[in-house]
């Protein structure tokens, strides 16, 4: 007897397949969540090591260069100029390393929380992109969120602004982070919207991995959230993310 002879059997098989797909999807999200936690911990440790080890070495080099500069000023022009060159190089290296540390793990996020970290990120944007003003609108009640939600919100804003700078040719960008009640509880809503040239968004755009969005999508979905991209040529781009306040535990199904 075939499934055509017994419609109930075919329906039962379809239900089993759908259940298996759901189980595998949940397992994948749980594994992604574990990987995300491990990755952020590794980034945090690496940023700390860069600060401690390389920072001490640069400070020692700077101290020696200042001493040489003071001793040679007015007596040995060649040594003085070399010392000044060393000081300039040290300052440049420190700026590069500090920028790397901020991208690995913004220290202000751990020390002061999400809102100050986003304010510092936007302040840096405004200094570097004078012709693209950035508006920041933060909810006042962001101080008690889970660490993984904090870093995910930060990464969403960071990556979205990077894409604006690289691709959009926008003259204005707006960032908003709100905390709101929904039927299932509470969620954080993040939007980054620009008035740039926009994108020809297809159904496979995010999943194709373009502009770093695939990594963000996997991270957001692992937390039980949603990421949406709204864009079209000539009318700008809007990235919207919704994250439940209580993320799912990273356990295998």
pLDDT in tens, 168-195: 889 999 999 999 988 888 999 999 999 9
Q: Which residue has better confidence, 99 or 156?
A: 156
CATH fold of 131-244: Heat Shock Protein 90 (3.30.565)
Q: Are 190 and 155 in contact (CB under 8 A)?
A: no
CB 154 within 8 A of CB 117: yes
Highest mean pLDDT among 61-65, 159-163, 239-243: 239-243
Question: Across all residues in the chain, what is the average pLDDT?
Answer: 82
What DSSP element (H or E) covers 29?
Answer: helix 7-49
| Cβ neighbours of residue 172 closer than 8 Å, sequence gap 6 or more | 132, 133, 134, 135, 194, 195
- Tell me the pLDDT tens digit for each residue of 192-238: 999 999 887 664 445 444 557 777 888 888 888 999 989 888 889 99
What does the DSSP assignment read for 213-232? HHHHHHHHHHTT-EEEEEE-
pLDDT of residue 5: 55
Residue range 76-131, pLDDT digits in tens? 999 999 999 999 998 888 888 877 777 777 778 878 899 999 999 999 899 989 99
Among 143, 153, 167, smallest CA distance to 240 is for: 153
Inform me whether the pLDDT recorded for 247 exceeds 70: no
What are the sequence ranges of the domains in the chain?
1-105, 131-244
CA distances from 210 to 65, 160, 198, 204, 205 (A): 45, 12, 14, 10, 7
Alpha-carbon gap, residue 67 to 50, rounded angstroms: 25
Q: What pLDDT is recorded for position 126?
A: 93
Burial zone of 106 (CB within 10 Å; 0-12 exposed, 13-18 middle, 19+ buried): buried
């Amino acid at each position: 007897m075939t499934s055509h002879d017994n419609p109930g059997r075919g329906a039962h098989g379809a239900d089993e397949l759908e259940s298996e797909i759901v189980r595998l999807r949940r397992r994948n999200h749980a594994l992604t969540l574990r990987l995300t936690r491990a990755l952020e911990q590794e980034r945090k440790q690496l940023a700390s090591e860069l600060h401690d080890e390389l920072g001490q070495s640069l400070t020692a080099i700077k101290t020696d260069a200042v001493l040489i500069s003071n001793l040679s000023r007015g007596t040995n022009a060649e040594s003085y100029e070399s010392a000044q060159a060393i000081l300039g190089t040290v300052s440049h290296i420190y700026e590069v390393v500090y920028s790397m540390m901020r991208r690995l793990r913004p220290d202000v996020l751990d020390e002061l929380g999400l809102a100050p970290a986003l304010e510092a990120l936007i302040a840096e944007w405004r200094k570097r992109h004078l012709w693209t003003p950035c508006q920041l609108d933060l909810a006042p009640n962001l101080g008690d969120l889970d660490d993984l939600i904090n870093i995910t919100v930060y990464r969403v804003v960071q990556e979205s602004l990077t894409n604006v700078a690289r691709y959009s040719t926008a003259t204005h960008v707006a960032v908003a982070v709100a905390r709101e009640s929904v039927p299932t509880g509470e969620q954080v809503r993040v939007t980054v919207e620009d008035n740039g040239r926009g994108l020809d968004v297809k159904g496979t755009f995010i999943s194709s991995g373009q502009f770093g969005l695939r990594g963000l999508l996997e991270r957001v979905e692992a937390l039980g959230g949603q990421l949406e991209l709204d864009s079209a040529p000539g009318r700008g781009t809007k990235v919207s993310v919704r994250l439940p306040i209580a993320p799912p535990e990273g356990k295998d199904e």
